[in-house]
Structure 1
Amino acid sequence: MANPKFIQGKGEFHIELKNRVNQYFIDRKKPMTGNSALLMKAVLFCIGYILIYVHLVFFTPMVWAAIPECVLFGGLTAAIGFNVMHDGAHGSFSKYKVLNKMAGFSLNFLGASAIMWNMKHNIIHHTYTNIDGIDDDIEARPWLRFATTQKKMKMHKFQHYYFWFLYTLLHLVWIFMSDYKKYFSGKIGPVALRKMTVREHISFWVAKLGYAFMFVALPIWLLGFTTWLVGFLTITMVTGFVISIVFQLAHTVEHTEFPMPNESTNKIENEWAIHQVATTANFSTGNKLISWLVGGLNFQIEHHLFPRISHVHYPAISKIIKRTCNDYGIKYIEYPKMRHAILSHVAYLRKLGQAN
């Protein structure tokens, strides 16, 4: 399908919302980017990541210590992705472009391609959220059905049971299959990738080969195949599960919408900002620990409306956004606890597995 258009472009709601949020930063004389606390968190996570890697690979701890370290390492991988890479890729980690670029390219050290992520996430997902056939984040066929417009299969009747395991495979599939499929096909779903520069081609392969050496070849050489396999699977499965849960709770729950463009006009009958609110949900916004660990991605509505604002500001601007939604009669979807969002996600998968 051709990329749809939004029927109103930047409508009244979007303009008013931007004015109110911009005024918040003007009144407080604050930059919209990250602060020293975010920088310190990034340093803490990255040092922990390096230290655990060195200990696991070069000092070979006993199994009783190695497995918990691998679990922690998987959690740190996801945390760096949420807190450092994600803000950096959106240009909101720092007011300095070089720090944003470094933060964004940290994804290469986590096994995935920053180049592919930018196209898949920043451009496609943030524009065409929850639009089946374009948004690659709701494309998990044939294993999972995320939208009523997707074909129902017999196994989907049980998807609310087996999705837990499938989510653990996300990181493995991402680093060893998805990136390569995008690279060689030149497409993300139906959307063609822009032509990559020679530098980007080199960057892609240097990152992939570097990760393969550091996380596959070197550990196998030093530790042996079986030890490496157990540790690597533990790390990547924890990473995949954490990433999947956080991102799926943002969009595939009972109350979010999955609009499709009008068949004759190929237009979404909403302005872009209203579309983002309707297709996105928040969870556990009052839990400071969860917010700190997931890089504010529990404030997903704020992130989708203002991706170039660092997550450190989401708790403050969420009050403005919620009030503006109320003023315009727009539903603001929020689950008070993470467990409520998880239950809603399970209920949604059950419903999609049973509905035609």
Structure 2
Amino acid sequence: MAVPKFPKSGNSFHVELKNRINDYFATTGQSVTGGARIYSKAIILYAALIYCYIQAVFFTPANIWLDILLCVAIGALISGVGFNVMHDGGHGSFSKSPAVNKIAAYSAEIVGASQFMWNMKHNIIHHAFTNIDGVDDDIDAKPFLRMASTQKKYKMHKFQHLYFWMFYSILHIYWTLLSDYKKYFSRKIGEMPLKKMKPVDHILFWGFKVVYYTLFIVIPIVRLGFEKWIIGYLIFSLTAGLILSVVFQLAHTVEDTEFPMPDVATGKLQDEWAVHQLKTTANFATNSKIISWYVGGLNFQVEHHLFPKISHVHYPAINKIVKQACKEYNVTYIEYKRMYQAFISHVSFLKHMGQIA
């Protein structure tokens, strides 16, 4: 598929939104980056992750249930670092300093993913072409899961709403042991060509892989033995995979979101970019401070997709501005008040995708 094109609008809704958000920051005098709030969160998450890692590997509890709990915590904390540090850093919204943003973005490497591949997959492709089958790699789980009506249907998809959690759980393992290498050697993400890698990109790619494998495979095996390591590794990795998958899928693959396709002849999409984002993205549990803190504002996915360079700490405030603009311009705004409602909608969506032709 050729790269889809968004139509130009003389009365751009996106321009109107940007003007209102710019006015908000000009009036309040706040920086669009995270500041002390995101720095403190990063310190808390990293300190907790390091503590749990040291306890699990070097001071392994005799109580097996406590050991299991530590492994689950490591998985949850790795996800938290990804949501809050890596994600904002990758979008350049963690700090005013480009160097600090780059360091934050490279948290991806510590938790097993490639920052280079993530930037291409997430920032460039997913954020530009959300929910467009054949372009957005986030909805490509073929052949095991069918995430759009334009994808080929197999008999097993009839049951995907029952078995999806198994494939969501292996996401982190898939990332760390297969996905990045598939992109690296094929020079593609899905059907999109990979940006040319500089020599330093190759060095960092392989160097950080060695660091990750040393921290989470070599050292634990040496300290604990293979059997204890494999059990602990699977627990933390399956926990991280399930959390990461669910949070990201609730934002785009629910009953109310759309999966637009470009015109076959012109390659153009129906809506301008901002309207497209609103039709393909959903919020959930925006009144929950606990969920918002942990998922790094990714429950405010609408605001994130419209303004990815604004730190997630500001999403609750700009959420009201975006909602008001959508109301005035009669533009779709999708939101689930509770996380369980979004989850039920996602399961229903999967069931529907497994039934329709």
After TM superposition, the score normalised by the length of structure 1 is: 0.99
- Does residue 23 (structure 1) correspond to residue 23 (structure 2)? The answer is yes
User: C-alpha distance in 2, partners of 1:204/1:258?
Assistant: 33
User: C-alpha distance in 1, partners of 2:193/2:322?
Assistant: 34
AA aligned opposite 2:187: G
2:3 — aligned with what?
Answer: 3
Q: CA deviation at 1:11?
A: 5.0
User: C-alpha distance in 2, partners of 1:52/1:120?
Assistant: 30
Q: CA deviation at 1:10?
A: 8.0
User: C-alpha distance in 1, partners of 2:37/2:313?
Assistant: 9
Q: Which SS does the other structure have where 2:250 is aligned?
A: helix
User: C-alpha distance in 2, partners of 1:282/1:41?
Assistant: 22
Q: Is the 8 A contact 1:93 1:103 kept in 2?
A: yes
Instruction: Identify if the C-alpha distance between structure 1 residues 292 and 58 changes in structure 2 by more than 3 Å, giving closer, same or farther.
Output: same
User: C-alpha distance in 2, partners of 1:8/1:237?
Assistant: 43
Instruction: Identify if the C-alpha distance between structure 1 residues 10 and 77 changes in structure 2 by more than 3 Å, giving closer, same or farther.
Output: farther
AA aligned opposite 1:162: Y
Q: Which SS does the other structure have where 1:282 is aligned?
A: strand
AA aligned opposite 2:194: L
User: C-alpha distance in 2, partners of 1:278/1:272?
Assistant: 10
2:298 — aligned with what?
Answer: 297
Q: CA deviation at 1:9?
A: 6.2
Aligned length: 356
1:180 — aligned with what?
Answer: 181
Q: CA deviation at 1:54?
A: 1.2
1:72 — aligned with what?
Answer: 73
User: C-alpha distance in 2, partners of 1:243/1:82?
Assistant: 8
Q: Is the 8 A contact 1:325 1:332 kept in 2?
A: yes
Runs of at least 4 residues of structure 1 off by over 4 A? none
User: C-alpha distance in 2, partners of 1:218/1:39?
Assistant: 29
Q: Is the 8 A contact 1:10 1:272 kept in 2?
A: no
User: C-alpha distance in 2, partners of 1:299/1:11?
Assistant: 26
User: C-alpha distance in 2, partners of 1:291/1:323?
Assistant: 21
Give % identity. Answer: 56
1:159 — aligned with what?
Answer: 160
Residues 173-228 of structure 1 show CA distances to partners (whole Å, capped at 9, x for unaligned) of: 01111100000000001111111000000000001111111111111111011100
1:248 — aligned with what?
Answer: 249
AA aligned opposite 2:50: I
After TM superposition, the score normalised by the length of structure 2 is: 0.99
1:114 — aligned with what?
Answer: 115
Residues 304-343 of structure 1 show CA distances to partners (whole Å, capped at 9, x for unaligned) of: 0000000000000000000001111011000000000000
- Does residue 308 (structure 1) correspond to residue 309 (structure 2)? The answer is yes
1:272 — aligned with what?
Answer: 273
Q: Which SS does the other structure have where 1:4 is aligned?
A: coil
2:258 — aligned with what?
Answer: 257
AA aligned opposite 1:49: L
2:131 — aligned with what?
Answer: 130
Q: CA deviation at 1:273?
A: 0.5
2:106 — aligned with what?
Answer: 105
Residues 27-66 of structure 1 show CA distances to partners (whole Å, capped at 9, x for unaligned) of: 0011100020211010010011111111111112221211
10-19 or 310-319, which moves further after superposition? 10-19
Residues 264-295 of structure 1 show CA distances to partners (whole Å, capped at 9, x for unaligned) of: 00011110000000000000001111000000
AA aligned opposite 2:290: L
1:351 — aligned with what?
Answer: 352
AA aligned opposite 1:54: I
- Does residue 196 (structure 1) correspond to residue 193 (structure 2)? The answer is no
2:85 — aligned with what?
Answer: 84
- Does residue 54 (structure 1) correspond to residue 54 (structure 2)? The answer is yes
Q: Equivalent residues in 2 for 1:145-156 (5 A)?
A: 145-156=146-157
Q: Where does the alignment leave 5 or more consecutive residues of structure 1 unmatched? A: none
Q: Where does the alignment leave 5 or more consecutive residues of structure 2 unmatched? A: none
2:340 — aligned with what?
Answer: 339
User: C-alpha distance in 2, partners of 1:243/1:174?
Assistant: 11
Instruction: Identify if the C-alpha distance between structure 1 residues 55 and 325 changes in structure 2 by more than 3 Å, giving closer, same or farther.
Output: same
Instruction: Identify if the C-alpha distance between structure 1 residues 315 and 87 changes in structure 2 by more than 3 Å, giving closer, same or farther.
Output: same
AA aligned opposite 2:269: I
1:142 — aligned with what?
Answer: 143
User: C-alpha distance in 1, partners of 2:195/2:77?
Assistant: 32
User: C-alpha distance in 1, partners of 2:9/2:202?
Assistant: 34
